Each structure stands twice: as C-alpha cells, then as structure tokens.
Chains A and B, each alone.
Chain A
Amino acid sequence: MRHKFLAMRPRMVLAICTIALFAMNTLAASEKTVHILGRSSDGAYPYYSNLIFDAAGNLYGMTYLWRRSLRQPWMRDRIRDDTRREWRLDGESAA
C-alpha cells in the first residue's frame, strides 16, 4: 500500500511544500496610523528620519520635502527612483 503522502496529487504535494517553505513566524501586533503626511502645508517623504520623543511624550522627526506646490518634476522623478523600484522583489511598480 502506498503511503498516503505519496498518493497525493503532485500539485497538492507541491502546494504543501511551498506553504511549509514560506510559512513565516509572526507575532500578534496591531498597526495604527498616527499621521498621514503629504497634505498641502505638510511635509512629505520622511526617508531615514528616525523619530525621537521629548520628555513630555511628543514625537519629532523630519521630512525630505514640504508643501506639495513647491515640488518640481525633477524632484518627483528623484523620489520615484528612490523608492527602490529595482529592489522590489516581484516586479510590481513602486509608488
């Protein structure tokens, strides 16, 4: 008698192996938007600016640009290039 695993259709075996291979360890956590950047008088693109707290619990950081109206086409191109399109792994276009 063939082993039950071997009796499975090859496509199903492949699917199980794929799921096992790419199963990720996850921890339960919830994400919340604190502030949406990019409104007309707001900053945009915070890049590598880590946030810091003051003693009162306020957050501070920087953005690469301010005021959407001041952005020039060359700058938008630079930002688009900097979104690391070439580093995305599935070929999907970056924002």
Chain B
Amino acid sequence: MTPDGSGGWTEKVLHNFGTASDGRYPEAGLIFDGNGNLYGATGGGGTHTRGTVFELTPDGSGGWTEKVLHNFGSGDDGAEPNSSLIWDNAGNLYGATGQGGTHGVSGGAGTVFEMTPNGDGSWTEKVLHNFGSGMDGLNPKAGLIFDAAGNLYGTTYYGGTHSSGTVFELTPNGDGSWTEKVLHNFGSGMDGQYPWAGLIFDAAGNLYGTTADGGSHGRGGIVFEMSPDGSGGWTEKILHNFNSGKDGGFPEAGLIFDGNGNLYGTTGAGGSLNWGTAFEMTPDGSGGWTEFLLHNFGIGNDGRSPYSGLVFDNAGHLYGTTNAGSTYGEGMVFEITPD
C-alpha cells in the first residue's frame, strides 16, 4: 500500500499464494530483514500441505520473488505456523506452529521453532520446544518476543493447569537446547482465558497482552500485565475486563504502546454495533488503567471484526485491518486519526 500523495493509497499485490507447492492461507504478518526482504509464514500449503516459511525479495524491477525456506509437516517439525516471525541478533528466525510436534493428539500440540540460514541460500529448521507434555500449554497462535537476555516469551491458546492457555518463557541452555517455563496459567476464577495474541514488553520489563475470553464478566476477555516478582516468578494483574460488550469484547490482537505509555488494541466483537472496536488504555496514575474507545466498527460500509492489531505511522495515525465488512464483505485497511 503506497501513499499516492493526495491523501489516498494504492494497493499492489506482491505475491499470490497457492500455486503448485507454494504456501497457502497466511494468517499472520510480515517482517523485514535489513536488506528490504520480507519474511512470513503460511498456515497451509507447501510440499506437505502443513504450511511454510517464505521469503519475498524485490527483483529490482518493481516485482517480488518468493522463495519457500521451509515446508512444515515432515515428521515432527511442526505444522500450521500461523504466527508472525521474529529475528534474533544473529539473523535466525523464530516462530510457533499451532499444530504438529511430538506431543498431543489430533495433529499435535504445536511447537516453537528456529530457522537458521546455512550460508548457501538454504535454511535449516529446528524445533526448540514441543508443546503438550504435562501442563506446559497447547496450540500457540501468536508470535514470540525476546527479552534483552535472549529469552523468548509467548502464549498458548489452550493447555496449562486450567486448560485455558498460558504465558511461557523459553530459556537457552547454552548447548543448543531450550527449557520452557510456564509463567502463568490462565483460567483461575475471574481470570482471562484463551490468549490468541502475543506479548509486548514495557521499558521496565513487564509483559502486556490480551485474552480472547474469560474475565470478571464471564466472557469478553481481558487486558493483562505480567510483572516479575523478583524471585523468579511472575504476577498477573488484570488491567481491564471487557464488559457488557459495549466496551469491546473478544480481543484477538496484541497491543502496542505509544510514546506516553498508553496501550492500543482492537476487539473483534463488541462496541456499539457489536462489530468490534479500536481502544486505548491509559494509566490513571494510581496503578489502575482506564479504557477509552477510539472507534466502533460496522457503521454503514465500515469494516467489521478487526482481528489484527494496530500500528502507528510517524504522524501518530493508527492503521489496521478488519477481516469482514466494507463494500465486498471481505475486509478493509483503515486509518484512525485521534482528533
């Protein structure tokens, strides 16, 4: 999507998935490398039909060329990678698969994987953790995030001691293996359930995220903060329980911060028309947070059901997508400008 200089935008399709053994059905986002190449994952397709990791490279004449870096579904290498990817400082890619791996039933409980470039244009995939052993979580949907020490953090949609999802940490052991530790089990009492989205850090090392269901109103989801307790554990604090639906409900997207420490996100349902919202969470100075609605989706030809998160441009405008609604009922790209 390129700004046309007069306030509009022009869309150009860079690659059509789904031909021959190409990947299909991408659900997550893209990331750049330092050379302007794009990387992502598809949840289906590939030579084993269980998804791919791919690279898109500009061809110098306005087009882009796709190269599949890994085909999932061979053995226990994971399947259906519907998460976004993240780089480490050494140029390796990390992500999660919602299915596959060595544990679980009905196609596996998912994995965390690493992709390492071999130097000859090929890449090698390695599974860092197989979910589904004991209470370690099941079926991660979202991407991962590193802390400054090189540990990975993420969420699982199911599993854990209450079968409502987890927040987990993966720590490198120094010998190529990684150890998983569950930081929080969702679903106890009025806690949130089923975190679909990934996590973000604040400058103090606290983690923030959403759950797509649960909370003090039974359903609707929450916004939560996870803080290290100084003795190796983490404490969850609920910042907002999505309420009657008018304040939004069922957030499936992650959060972003602005420069003032406010959080922004979307909900796939709820709001005045029950077609989702964009919201801001502002700290009240006494440990609490207040939710403000920025937009109720679904009016007229507006988009409906925003499942993705938001991104700021340099001027403070927010951009995102809806998965339904608009002219053809198949989604739109939107911009929100605070007045």
Contact A44 B330 (CB under 8 A): yes
* A22 smallest CB distance to B (angstroms): 5
Contact A29 B3 (CB under 8 A): no
Stretch in B144-152, B231-239, B313-321 touching the partner? B313-321
A68 to B252, CA, bound (A): 26
A66 to B18, CA, bound (A): 9
A38 to B301, CA, bound (A): 13
Our pick among B11, B32, B252, B280 for the contact of A52 (Cβ within 8 Å) is B32
Please name the residue on chain B nearest to A59 by beta carbon: B1
Instruction: Answer whether A27 and B293 are a contact pair too, CB < 8 Å, given A32-B334, A61-B333, A89-B245.
Output: yes
Q: Which residues from chain B sit less than 8 Å from chain A, CB to CB?
A: 1-3, 9, 11, 13-14, 16-18, 25-32, 36, 38, 40, 82, 84, 141, 196, 213, 219-220, 244-247, 249-250, 252-254, 268-270, 274, 278, 280, 290-295, 301-305, 307-311, 313-314, 319-339
B-facing mask of A34-63, CB < 8 A → 1, else 0? 111111011111111111111001111111
Contact B323 A58 (CB under 8 A): no
Additional pairs, 10, CB under 8 Å, beyond known A29-B338, A49-B27, A58-B1: A25-B292, A28-B338, A29-B278, A31-B336, A44-B331, A52-B29, A59-B1, A60-B30, A61-B29, A84-B269
Contact A95 B335 (CB under 8 A): no
Contact A95 B324 (CB under 8 A): yes
Instruction: Answer whether A24 and B246 are a contact pair too, CB < 8 Å, given A59-B1, A95-B325.
Output: yes
Instruction: Answer whether A63 and B331 are a contact pair too, CB < 8 Å, given A47-B323, A49-B26.
Output: yes
Our pick among A50, A66, A70, A90 for the contact of B308 (Cβ within 8 Å) is A50
Contact B269 A87 (CB under 8 A): yes
Closest 5 CB pairs of A and B: A38-B328, A38-B330, A44-B330, A28-B339, A89-B245
* B222 smallest CB distance to A (angstroms): 15
Interface flag for A30 (CB, 8 Å) = yes
Contact A48 B333 (CB under 8 A): no
Contact A35 B9 (CB under 8 A): yes
* B115 smallest CB distance to A (angstroms): 18
Contact B292 A27 (CB under 8 A): yes
Across-interface contacts of B11 in A (CB, < 8 A): 35, 42
A22 to B255, CA, bound (A): 24
A62 to B294, CA, bound (A): 24
* B240 smallest CB distance to A (angstroms): 11
Across-interface contacts of B40 in A (CB, < 8 A): 62
Contact A26 B1 (CB under 8 A): no
Across-interface contacts of A35 in B (CB, < 8 A): 1, 9, 11, 332-333
A41 to B327, CA, bound (A): 15
A-B contacts, 28 listed (Cβ < 8 Å): A27-B338, A29-B278, A30-B339, A31-B334, A34-B1, A35-B332, A36-B332, A37-B321, A37-B326, A38-B329, A39-B328, A46-B321, A49-B29, A50-B84, A52-B31, A58-B1, A59-B319, A60-B38, A61-B321, A61-B333, A62-B40, A64-B27, A66-B18, A83-B323, A83-B324, A87-B250, A89-B220, A90-B274
